Structure 1
Amino acid sequence: MPNPPYTVAWDDFRLIKAIADARSLPAAAELIGLNHSTVFRRLGQIEEALGTRLFERHRSGYVTTPAGEEMAALAERLDHDIAGFTRRLAGREIVPAGELRVTTNDSLLVELLTPLFGAFMRQCPDIRLDVLLGNQALNLSKRDADVAIRATDTPPENLVGRRAARIGWALYGRGADFPEGPPADQGTLAQRRWVSLNDQFGAFKVVQYVQKHIEADRVVYKLNTVLGLAEAVEAGIGIGFLPCFIGDKRPGLKRLGPPQAGYAADLWLLTHPDLRQAPRVRLFLDFMASELVRLRPLIEGVAEAEIQPAEDAQASAAS
């Protein structure tokens, strides 16, 4: 018996439309909240299943074939129809309520997210937040959590979401130890006492830098928490790399160099595909994405900013 024809799913159309719009796989991956390798693999699977090429690969990017153009056009119509359907239901939707489980790590919670969570709960008083701390990957498929807020360059392929910002890292020291600012000869910093995350965080680029460029006997203090790292620098134990959204808020610390692009990490808002249309999940993701985009200067270290939810910032400006 011949194999049954391949059934094209909506996510297939969405992926093809994203590639047609962006003309490159990395840009398409960012549009739909997946990583580059996942988009490449799924495109190959779709083309193989349909038995036809959907794109020609040129130097200028991915160009649709007639079949790809037809599929992208159909995706555009579907997207338009779905948006219209959603708008029609908006007035009848039940007010989002219930418990929302969010997993993140301690440094993000304490230094960045808690004021934003508070603002969200004031806007949505019928939603209760259950926050789970840890760096380990929880199984969102089994509802260990509904939403994950993670600093990572490799989000799990089985989750969907959006990249909200790039977390900038820079070298900091205690301000009292550098009253005239960073030394003119940056090479002298290698002779200072250093603090660092321990080998458990060996995948971090800042940890790899310290391991490679700083003599082992100069690294006098290691630990497994970013919050503790900031406390150590502030106590004068040594100099060390910190996320800019932590270091720039502490008046006792001083930057010893600009943020290093190579050390930055993506900040992701993630959920399971089956949960992304749940009203309370969608509302939470939209709110957090908006707030984190507003705080990008602080998170990315390009300018100092204050952690203040948008509603409070608007109130301050009006007073």
Structure 2
Amino acid sequence: MANSLEWNDYRVVLAIHRTGGLAPAARVLGINHATVFRQVNAMEARLGARLFDRHRSGYGLTAVGEVALAAAEAMEIQVLAAERRMTGGDLSLSGSIRVTAPDDMVQRLLLPMFVAFRARYPQIELEIIVDNRFLNLSRREADIAIRPTSAPPEAMVGVNVGPLAMATYGVPELAAQIEAGNAISDLPWIGWEDGADSIAFGGYFQRLVPRPLFVYRANSLLAQISAAEAGIGIAVLPCFAGDGSEKLTRIGAVVDSMSSDLWLLTHPDLRRAARIKAFIDFISGALRKKRRLLAGE
């Protein structure tokens, strides 16, 4: 039919809806802004109706666009399920794996393991997505997630490596102030940006009495580790990073309320793929060798 849309058209509708504009949609799709603009105009010309209302704040769906979005989401579910099943049946130790993990883990824990994995499986390409958010494995935003969590998503499967502990750390000069009798709340603190504490750790810092004096905030544990090593203040950090740093000293015991478990997660459709299984087995084995460090023992 002359006025019908194709799968690539629906992908454009999805990308614009999820990102809110042409430029971010183009980045997601891996094409340029002008191409997306032309595709939208061509779709609307074929349909004889507008899919999007153009606002200063971005692109919003029209009533026709909402219908196209519902169809696009249904098609995407089928396409992704088929892709996962095909990948899950791949018995070759080659191809690419998209792995997502937080920045502190990639830089301070996982990188040597990735090097060793590549040496063992040279035909497997690793694509590392450094992101502190949980990406959607059902949408194939990643194939494997390496995440600290006490409650992994029920729809995912994986391996629980063991406890991932957190404790307070600072440079020796700041730690010495505690030994000299100063209260820990009197020291300068490094913490999360406003609101992130409640999201990530259930408001741990908000419950401390007296409240810590925050002099530096960051939305990344890697940034907080670097700031603590620079002597800006003390911070609650993963023990693998704090105990593994030559510049930091642990202050106090493990903070149980901020600790969790470390998981390697994937979608059930992918778990039998040879390269996925090889990665999970290899990296979980390497992480288990560091269980005492991860647990802060």
Q: Same fold (TM over 0.5)?
A: yes
- 2:199 aligns to what? 203
Alpha-carbon deviation of 1:250?
1.5
Q: State the Cα deviation string for residues 116-155 of structure 1 (Å, max 9, x = none).
A: 0110110001100011121222222232211111111121
- Paired with 2:260 and 2:212, the residues of 1 have a C-alpha distance of 28
- 1:110 aligns to what? 107
Identity of aligned residues (%): 38
Go from structure 1 to structure 2 and tell me whether the alpha carbon gap of 1:189 and 1:280 turns closer, same or farther (over 3 Å shift): same
- 1:177 aligns to what? 174
Residue 285 of structure 1 aligns with an amino acid whose one-letter code is: I
Alpha-carbon deviation of 1:288?
1.0
- Paired with 1:135 and 1:232, the residues of 2 have a C-alpha distance of 18
How many residue pairs match? The answer is 207
- Paired with 2:212 and 2:165, the residues of 1 have a C-alpha distance of 27
Q: State the Cα deviation string for residues 11-62 of structure 1 (Å, max 9, x = none).
A: xxxxxxxxxxxxxxxxxxxxxxxxxxxxxxxxxxxxxxxxxxxxxxxxxxxx
Alpha-carbon deviation of 1:215?
4.8
CA contact (8 A) 2:189 2:235 kept: yes
Alpha-carbon deviation of 1:183?
2.2
- Paired with 1:254 and 1:120, the residues of 2 have a C-alpha distance of 31
Q: Does 1:229 align with 2:193?
A: no
Alpha-carbon deviation of 1:161?
0.5
**Which aligned runs of 4 or more in structure 1 are off by greater than 4 angstroms?**
214-217
Alpha-carbon deviation of 1:212?
1.6
Q: State the Cα deviation string for residues 97-129 of structure 1 (Å, max 9, x = none).
A: 111111111111001111101101100011000
- 1:128 aligns to what? 125
Residue 135 of structure 1 aligns with an amino acid whose one-letter code is: N
- 2:289 aligns to what? 294
Alpha-carbon deviation of 1:94?
5.5
Residue 157 of structure 1 aligns with an amino acid whose one-letter code is: E
Structure 1 stretches lacking a partner, 5+ long: 1-92, 303-319
Partner SS for 1:151:
strand
- Paired with 1:214 and 1:222, the residues of 2 have a C-alpha distance of 19
CA contact (8 A) 1:182 1:255 kept: no
- Paired with 1:250 and 1:167, the residues of 2 have a C-alpha distance of 16
CA contact (8 A) 2:101 2:145 kept: yes
CA contact (8 A) 2:189 2:212 kept: no
Spell out the pairing of 1:68-79 with structure 2 (5 A cutoff): none
Go from structure 1 to structure 2 and tell me whether the alpha carbon gap of 1:130 and 1:107 turns closer, same or farther (over 3 Å shift): same
Residue 292 of structure 2 aligns with an amino acid whose one-letter code is: P
Q: CA RMSD in A?
A: 2.1
- Paired with 1:173 and 1:273, the residues of 2 have a C-alpha distance of 41
Alpha-carbon deviation of 1:95?
4.5
- 1:100 aligns to what? 97
Higher relative contact order structure (alpha carbons within 8 Å, sequence separation ≥ 6): 2
CA contact (8 A) 1:106 1:227 kept: yes
